[in-house]
Amino acid sequence: MFTFRKKKTLRVFLVSCILLTFLSGCLGPSPEENIYTTLEKVVTLEEAFNDQQKPLQELEKKESDLYNQIMDLGMKEFDKVISLSKEALTLVEERETKINKEYESMMSSKEEFAKIDEEIEKIKDESLAKQASKLKTTMENRYSTYESLYDAYKSSISLDKELYTMLQKEDLTLDDLESQIKKVNDSYKTVMEYNEIFNQTTEDFNELKLEFYNQAELNVEGSKSQ
């Protein structure tokens, strides 16, 4: 009698476990909710990217002021030109450090974002799946544009270093200086073009993200933007 009851209790316990497992699978997060979680984490991973923006602008402003001072001096006060050029080089190196931190942040974001691929495949609503795919394509374009922007900025930094090193040479010719300045200006023009595309793509992505959240009927009051 005791043995029979013990077996019966065990059987009921096992059935309960199976039911709980089945229910937890059914009641787990939907693909849409998993996408939401991933996208919000992506925003968090990009915080380091955003943190670099103001310091970068400040460094660019300081460097620009030094450059103008150097150009005003010309080679008449060569010792001062050398001093200011060295100071400008230090600022360029600081910018390089920050742009590298920015890049690392974006690549972490990109890696996390890739997780939505398998979730999109699980979405049953065709219209919603299409919206999620559009969102994915836009974000991938954003990452691609950022990488081009990063490469262009790094190239500009290299040209800046060359310029400030050249300015420390007493035998620097006007032709060489003008040629280098043109390279620097052309390089930053490319940076600005990529930056505009990146900002626009970011804007487009944020709009599509909200549209997806609304279409999926997700509660997104605390949602963050890139």
* 223 pLDDT more than 70: no
d(CA 223, CA 210): 9
* 63 pLDDT more than 90: yes
d(CA 178, CA 60): 21
Residues 57-66: what's their mean pLDDT?
A: 97
Q: What is the pLDDT of residue 22?
A: 40
Q: What is the pLDDT of residue 219?
A: 73
- CA 32, 36, 37: angle at the middle one, nearest 5? 120
Residues 192-209: what's their mean pLDDT?
A: 97
Query: What confidence tier does 75 reach under pLDDT thresholds 50, 70, 90?
Result: confident
Asked whether 117 and 61 are in contact (CB, 8 A), the reply is no
Whether the predicted model's global pTM rises above the 0.75 cut: yes
Q: Which of 12-21, 55-64, 107-116 has the lowest mean pLDDT?
A: 12-21
At 54, phi and psi to the nearest 5? Answer: -65, -50
Query: What confidence tier does 167 reach under pLDDT thresholds 50, 70, 90?
Result: very high
Q: What is the percent of the chain with per-residue pLDDT over 90, rounded to a whole number?
A: 81
Q: Which of 8-12, 68-72, 99-103, 109-113 has the lowest mean pLDDT?
A: 8-12
Residue 106: C-alpha distances to residues 24, 111, 176 (Å): 35, 9, 37
Better-scored residue on pLDDT, 215 or 24 = 215
Q: How far apart, in Å, do the first and last CA atoms of the chain sit?
A: 67
Q: What mean pLDDT is reported for the chain?
A: 88
User: What domains are defined for the chain?
Assistant: 42-113+123-215 (1.20.120.570)
Better-scored residue on pLDDT, 5 or 30 = 30
